Every structure is written in structure tokens, then in C-alpha cells.
């Protein structure tokens, strides 16, 4: 049984994916204004009614029973967090995680803020976070698989929105202002533009990758410069020297042969360097379907590992 915490675009896409590809049941759905619970799991007509509900309207959908989140813990094994990130303190998700873990649930998340701010607190707990970084590409799995090797550095294009903007300027001749407005019109830019344009999103992903490699980098250690166009081959690069413990997100004018130039438009790229290896990965970032499929993969893994306890 699943609890869905967050019911925006990704949450609704995840519901569609779960019901079309698995026999998993969803027992509770919560949005910013409340939630509903049915311990036996929602049936197909009830799922359809939930999907028809307006944003913030889950508790008025007429499905199940209105409930507090803590009530739903007794009817589920996995909580899936697709709520918006709060980079100030990670709340309310941090408190939700603590309560859910105490109640014996596993957590699957696409919300970067709790881990970017409190990774050390949640390290070793049953929290699965593949969907937080390059959700369409299993880079978190890669980082976890490199543990044991001494990590030296991370360098990458980790935010698809800013890469799209810079690609439209560099490759298609748009002005920076026009490219930014186009990205906003397409819905690529976060409701709080600073999350993309001031490097918070990329910094959070950088921190999560570093910690997945076993290095305790914190969000406060990442120096951020706002997005701007410096001239041809400008990329918004997230990079960390894991030996020195320094990190930054900033616009950089790359050399003509830099492999990161292959990441165009909304494609992401990351290079991870260890004492014995340099691995470079290109792939899709975090569209609704990509994120939902990464979440589903983690849900299935969480369920499998719970059975093996």
C-alpha cells in the first residue's frame, strides 16, 4: 500500500503509471489542503475521481474518508513524496519523514530539499531517492555503485531548465530575455524562479550526488552564482572538488572541446571522477513521466526489500 504525499503534475502522472503497470494499491493521497484515506486501497473509479479533482481539492473529492497524514501510516508500507521543495528548512517534509520512519514506513522521494539539507540524518534509513537527480537517468544508482572508490570530483549540467535557456541563446540565436520568457511560457521554470535561475536546484542535486558517493557535502558549502549568458558555449555548471570540500554552481564559458557541450536543451550531463575511474553520463532530467518512472522503480525496490527484512 502506498501513501502519495503531493498531488501535482508528477503525483498525478505517478498514479497513472502505478495503475497501468502494477497491481500496487494506493491507500491515501494528500495535497497542500488535506487528504483522503481508504485502508483497502482506492478502486479504479475512485482513482479516476481523484485524478479529476482540482489542485488542492483532494479532500473534497468525495473519495475515501478525510484523514490526517499520521492516520494513513497504519494502512501503508511506503510513503511517496512528490511535494514541492522548501530549501529554507526542508519542512514540512522533514517532519513527515521522521514520523513515517518512526511508524515503520519506507520513503520514496522526488523532493530534493530534505536530503540536500539533512542527508546525514537520513543516511542508512529506508529512503530511496533516485528521482531527485536526473530522474530519467539512473545517476544516483551509479553514484551509490561507486562507493568504496575514493571520490575526487563531480562536474555536470544538472538543471534542464537553465540548459534549455542557454541552448536557445547559443544554438538558436534568441536573446537571453526571450529564451527565459519562452522557458517560463512552456512551464519549465519553477514557480519560484530562483530555484532554477539562482542555482538552488543544481546545488541540491550536487549535494545529493556527493553524499551518495559518501562525501558529506552540505547545501551551505555550495557557492552559487545566478544564471547569465557569458558568450558562446556558456553552460551553467555544477562542480565539486570532493577532496577539498569546495563546490559551486556558476555560468562558465567552456572550451570548444569540452564534453559537457554535448548536453543540449533539456539534456543533463554529469562527470564523476574517482581514484580509478572517470564516468560520464548523459540523459534526460526530470519530466513528469521520467520522474514518475524513477519513483516507480524505487517503490518496487522498497517493496522488494521490505519483503526480505
- pLDDT for position 186: 87
Same domain, 217 and 299: no
Mean pLDDT of 56-76: 94
pLDDT in tens, 123-168: 999 999 999 999 989 999 999 999 999 999 999 999 999 999 999 9
Question: Can you tell me whether residue 249 is helix, strand or coil?
Answer: strand
Cell of 168: 536557445
Annotated catalytic, 205? yes
pLDDT in tens, 88-126: 999 999 999 999 999 999 999 999 999 999 999 999 999
- 0.75 exceeded by pTM: yes
- pLDDT for position 191: 84
Residue with cell 546525514: 120
Same domain, 158 and 185: yes
Contacts of 154 (CB under 8 A, 6+ apart): 206, 209, 210, 213, 238, 239, 240, 242, 270, 271, 272, 273
Distance from chain centroid for Cα 299: 14
Mean pLDDT of 5-14: 96
Helix pair angle (112-122, 93-102), 10° resolution: 40
Same domain, 121 and 164: no
How much of the chain exceeds pLDDT 70, in percent?
100
Same domain, 108 and 163: no
- pLDDT for position 228: 97
pLDDT in tens, 174-232: 999 999 999 999 888 888 999 999 999 999 999 999 999 999 999 999 999 999 999 99
Same domain, 108 and 188: no
Same domain, 278 and 299: no
- pLDDT for position 25: 97
Same domain, 279 and 146: yes
Question: Can you tell me whether residue 65 is helix, strand or coil?
Answer: strand
Same domain, 156 and 278: yes
The number of beta carbons lying within 10 Å of the beta carbon of residue 302 is 22
pLDDT surpasses 90 at 309: no
Same domain, 301 and 248: no
- pLDDT for position 285: 79
Cell of 28: 491515501
Distance from chain centroid for Cα 253: 27
pLDDT in tens, 10-22: 999 999 999 999 9
How much of the chain exceeds pLDDT 90, in percent?
94
pLDDT surpasses 80 at 4: yes
Same domain, 256 and 232: yes
Longest dimension (CA), the chain: 59
Is cis: bond before 92, omega within 30 of 0? yes
Active site residue: 112, 205, 235, 284, which one? 205
Same domain, 38 and 117: yes
Same domain, 160 and 270: yes
Domain membership of residue 80 as a residue range? 2-133+288-307
Q: 124, exposed or middle or buried, with CB in 10 Å at 0-12, 13-18, 19+?
A: exposed
- pLDDT for position 181: 95
Sign of the dihedral through C-alpha 125, 211, 112, 270: negative
CB 235 within 8 A of CB 148: no
Q: Where are the beta strands (DSSP E) in the chain?
A: 2-5, 26-31, 34-37, 65-66, 78-81, 106-109, 127-128, 151-157, 222-224, 234-241, 246-253, 267-274, 278-284
- pLDDT for position 284: 85
Question: Can you tell me whether residue 264 is helix, strand or coil?
Answer: coil
| CATH assignment at residue 258 | 3.30.360.10
Sign of the dihedral through C-alpha 257, 260, 265, 267: positive
CB 195 within 8 A of CB 224: no
Structurally, how many domains does the chain consist of?
Answer: 2
| CATH assignment at residue 76 | 3.40.50.720
Amino acid at each position: 500500500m502506498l501513501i502519495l504525499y503531493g498531488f501535482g503534475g508528477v503525483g498525478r502522472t505517478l498514479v497513472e503509471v502505478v495503475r497501468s503497470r502494477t497491481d500496487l494499491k494506493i491507500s491515501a493521497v494528500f495535497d497542500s489542503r488535506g487528504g483522503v484515506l481508504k485502508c483497502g486501497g482506492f478502486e479504479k473509479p475512485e482513482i479516476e475521481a481523484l485524478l479529476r479533482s482540482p489542485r488542492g481539492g483532494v479532500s473534497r473529492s468525495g473519495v475515501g474518508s478525510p484523514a490526517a497524514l499520521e492516520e494513513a501510516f497504519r494502512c501503508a508500507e511506503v510513503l511517496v513524496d512528490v511535494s514541492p521543495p522548501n530549501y529554507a528548512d526542508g519542512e514540512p517534509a522533514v517532519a513527515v519523514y521522521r514520523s513515517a520512519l518512526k511508524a515503520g514506513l519506507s520513503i520514496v522521494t522526488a523532493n530534493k530539499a530534505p536530503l540536500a539539507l539533512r542527508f546525514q540524518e537520513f543516511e542508512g534509513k529506508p529512503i530511496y531517492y533516485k528521482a531527485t537527480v536526473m530522474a530519467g537517468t539512473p545517476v544516483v544508482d551509479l553514484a551509490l555503485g561507486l562507493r568504496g572508490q575514493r571520490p575526487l570530483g563531480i562536474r555536470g549540467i544538472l538543471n534542464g531548465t537553465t540548459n534549455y535557456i542557454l541552448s536557445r541563446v547559443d544554438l538558436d540565436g534568441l536573446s537571453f530575455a526571450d529564451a527565459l520568457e519562452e522557458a517560463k511560457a512552456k512551464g519549465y521554470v519553477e514557480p519560484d524562479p530562483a530555484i532554477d535561475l539562482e542555482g538552488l536546484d543544481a546545488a541540491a542535486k550536487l549535494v545529493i550526488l556527493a553524499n551518495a558517493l559518501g562525501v558529506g557535502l552540505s547545501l551551505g558549502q555550495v557557492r552559487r552564482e545566478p544564471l547569465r549568458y557569458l558568450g558562446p558555449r556558456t553552460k551553467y555548471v555544477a562542480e565539486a572538488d570532493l577532496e577539498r570540500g569546495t563546490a559551486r554552481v556558476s555560468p562558465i564559458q567552456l572550451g570548444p572541446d569540452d564534453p559537457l557541450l554535448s548536453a543540449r536543451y533539456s539534456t543533463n550531463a554529469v562527470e564523476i571522477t574517482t581514484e580509478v575511474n572517470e564516468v560520464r553520463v548523459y540523459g534526460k532530467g526530470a519530466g513528469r513521466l521520467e520522474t514518475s518512472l524513477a519513483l516507480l522503480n524505487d517503490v518496487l525496490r522498497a517493496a522488494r526489500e521490505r519483503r526480505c527484512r
